[in-house]
Structure 1
Amino acid sequence: MGHGIAPAPTDSGTVSQHIALARDDIISASRRLRDTGHLSPVPDNHHDDLAARLAFGPGELETYPELGILYDLDENGQFRPLE
């Protein structure tokens, strides 16, 4: 899969606010981004809400808050965006 980079519509066009990347290993990618200071904090209740609504594999959800990984699920699949 490819990736895309585009400036936000209200930007001057010099800074990208969002990028999409296809990764087989979101955990190692998140650790590298965290270690370089490129992740934003995730709201405290995001992962608590996920735990209340969805089932995850052993230890999977516990890793997400540490690494700034969000989670979404729809008819197209599972998504693990980074904040």
Structure 2
Amino acid sequence: MLVNVAGMTMAHSRNFQRATPFFILKDKTVVKIFINPVQVKHIFLADDNNKMIFGGYVGWIHTKEMNKAIDKIKQEFTEEAM
């Protein structure tokens, strides 16, 4: 889903440790977000041992699309509140 977002570019792991956990998926994958000093949003996925399994970012023009993908992932792959 994330790789299909227009403008998605694979991110270097150097920002992985700076990313903040955003939510956790049913399979214990942690979705982490990092916004760099020029406001470029990065998304990282970490396994339950905090190892990076995906990292990507988009330019400003595609941020809205990435946010929609993140919202869809959260809706489809997290536990629903009771």
Q: TM-score range by the shorter chain?
A: under 0.3
TM-score normalised by L of structure 1: 0.27
TM-score normalised by L of structure 2: 0.27
Structure of greater Rg: 1
Determine which structure has the larger strand proportion and give its number: 2
